[in-house]
Structure 1
Amino acid sequence: MVFEPPERLVRALGEQPDTAQHEDWLARLPGLAEEALARRGVQAQRVQAPGGRSSLVILVRFPDGTPAALKLAPPGARPDRELAALAHWGGFGAVRLLDTRHEDGALLLERLQPEVSLRSLPEAKALLEASGTIRRLWVAPPAGHGFESVAERTERQSAGLKAAPAELLALAGTALELRDELAAAAPEELLLHGNFRQGKVLAGERAPWLTVGPEPLVGERAYDLARLVRDRLEDQVASSAGPAGARRRVNRLADSLDVDRDRLRGWTLFRAVESGLRALAAGRRRDSELLLEFAAWL
């Protein structure tokens, strides 16, 4: 089988720094996939399509016919941290690891239903299920963990906001001020998913919904919930509710999970501005406009 990387993955890696490193990984990916399959004694069925923006996922089977999925991500994505987080959750609220014997950057996971995510549900039902799922992930991190903190990640991301175009400096400045205030007074240190949204919650067999694709870090729940606030962004921007609707969404999610409303609003604004400026730098102008308009509503 030829393990061609999905176009979405190639395009996404091309937007990131260290392009040469990513090109080298993409060139070696077919061989890496073959080696990872052989080490685990599983047989490839097909590459998951259209695939994601951060990894290659191959649907596989064990010799006894048990289905599974093999995920390969570039070293910069820190698959070692994803493995550590999934191992710590132990399948509670998240996809289950099936093999932890190898340190080659590949993850052997239980097979979920990649074509059925929470985005297939009506919005109200999707948010209810998302809230129940993310709640299960918020646990104390393992002793001696190597995860970065919310403060560390957002400090690194702040460089992009400081380089914002002149017409966006005021919005970027507001986001940076909020980030500094929030990071200086973090109320808790829990293990977080880091990139939680409806599309990261897939249908399973042993549980109705399980999360995948964490970018784990430690910090407060409000940061982890912030990405979910702007889910289905085009629908939110197209609705007549506008800023009032965005604020109601913040308050509804905060109240449903006992999270401080102001802290959730602040992290939502920061993350939307950071994502919007990153999209702008990558040439994804439409995405950028939606994210920055949403941020301005908050």
Structure 2
Amino acid sequence: MIKLNVCPSTLAQGFDSYSPIALKMLFDGKKVSPFLPFPSPSAEQIEAKEALQNIGRISLSGVQPKFSMLIGEDLRLYYARANEQGTYILKPRPNAYHLFHKDFCAANEHLTMQIAAQVYRLETAPNGLCFFKNDEAAYITRRFDVRSDGGKYQQEDFASLLGYTRTNGGSDFKYCNGSYEECAEVIHKHVKAAPVSLLNFFRLIVFNFITLNNDAHLKNFSLINIRNEYRLAPGYDLINTSLHLTLPRIFALDKGLFKEGMSFSDIHSVQRKDFEEFGKRINLPEKLIERELNRFAGEYPLTKELIESSFLSQDLKRQYELSMNYRRKLLAK
């Protein structure tokens, strides 16, 4: 069994399990173990297959398998069965042939989400890592669309809100249609407190840029209906894709920031002025845009601390830090 010396959620030093803060955020204070009592789905073992045989439908988004999870009476996570409403999503190691460093996808997503929450104070889904019996790491996140009474909040991703499906938009509909400016128009249309959600959306777009997340497609942003009012859902699926892809892009959406699109040369020379223009187009005040871009361009010791405490390999930690520093400097005045 893997031995821990940092919290596998907050990455705070000196913990051999989830810290009290992590337990409160992720599990309502329940002392849930980060160690799963079964091997990973990728393990060629009878025990792994038996653990999976009674679960409900497994969803597969792109190359990332996702499992619905619940907390058992023994305070261990288990796969939700067909008739159970899961309250957590588990993302184990992907198996796609074209990904580099697949063993560290979970650690990468976890680190990126923690930087978003702790350094930049973005609203994100509570998350952490847990470990299969064969020590393989998996990413776990609490579902924000499930109510405390077991019901679900209405949630619509931006592909649906913009009217794009595989039928009318092609196999890559979530990438090749729409722009982030058009997503902002959706927020204007459906969200009563639009200025708040627009600022949060702007922050997510800039954060994705500095952390090299080029998988921020239309289905990775959502509006959620809470108490009969729509708002931008917390950030989810944040990951530095440059660690795993051979040909990383700048933006997930082909059009990039603007509804008229951005040329190939534009996308490869993205700078502060582009985000200033984007902020103006979505009706953010100029002083607010300047403040936010200065914040994301700044250097914070906590970022380095989180990277060093993460579960990435030493080489990937270095790559993560260097790539993020390069992108931050592109936002400097």
TM-score interval w.r.t. the shorter chain? 0.3 to 0.5
In proportion to residue count, which structure has more helix?
Answer: 1
- Give me the TM-score of the superposition, normalised by structure 1: 0.39
